[in-house]
Structure 1
Amino acid sequence: MAISARNVFEGTVTALTPGAVNAELVIGTAGGVGIVATVTMQSVETLGLELGRKAVAIVKSPSVIVVAGTPGYRFSARNQLAGTVAAISAGAVNSEVGIDVGGVLVQAVITNHAIAELGLSIGAPATAIFKAGSVIVGVAV
């Protein structure tokens, strides 16, 4: 599968909580990272989502918020993946920041101004944050 999104997490469904309209599920990666997604109950049925099913979680890099150091706040976003900055690819206005989270690389696109203000550098602690509703779930056909 070729896709333009930078973050494609392969794994299996490790938790599935159905609701009246939506379901919350967790896709666990081989590295032990759990990605929380919210999908409609119709998507659960259409995709055949169930515990143990292989699936991918896809997140576009502009949807990822970067927090430097140890957050002094609590956030409502279900995905809060703490790690260290592994790569910074500078652009004219924005840069791509790769955060290593237990061997899984999470990519974010943020402004160069934000990188400077946050003091981001290779090896610095950082947390990648994104909402469960920003996660697209896919399965092999």
Structure 2
Amino acid sequence: MKLSARNQFQGTVTKITEGQAMAEVVVKVGNLEVVSAITEGSVKSMGVNVGDAVTVAVKATDVLVGK
């Protein structure tokens, strides 16, 4: 799989919370958790399950840093 996003991280799905149309997918990347909201259809068509190894890709026009 090739993506244009440069910020890609390998992780493991730790939790999937399904709603009426959207699902919240939590991915553990090192010591961090990344939460993604995707359609339930995408979860089903990709066959995403807890424990799966996945790639998290972040593409944003702004990345903020605070101190």
Q: Which runs of 4+ in 1 moved over 6 A?
A: none
Name the CA distance, whole Å, in 1 between partners of 2:19 and 2:12. Answer: 20
Confirm or deny: 8 A CA contact 1:78 1:132 kept in the other structure: no
Larger radius of gyration: 1
Confirm or deny: 8 A CA contact 1:82 1:101 kept in the other structure: yes
Q: Describe the shift of the 1:136–1:84 C-alpha distance in structure 2 as closer, same or farther (beyond 3 A).
A: same
TM-score by length of 1: 0.44
TM-score by length of 2: 0.87
Q: Describe the shift of the 1:117–1:104 C-alpha distance in structure 2 as closer, same or farther (beyond 3 A).
A: same
What stretches of structure 1 of length at least 5 have no aligned partner?
Answer: 1-72
Size of the aligned set, in residue pairs, is 67
- Residues 93-126 of structure 1 show CA distances to partners (whole Å, capped at 9, x for unaligned) of 0011001111211000000000000101110111
Q: Which residue is 1:94 aligned to?
A: 22
Q: Which residue is 1:112 aligned to?
A: 40
What stretches of structure 2 of length at least 5 have no aligned partner?
Answer: none
Name the CA distance, whole Å, in 2 between partners of 1:88 and 1:134. Answer: 27
Q: Which residue is 1:130 aligned to?
A: 58
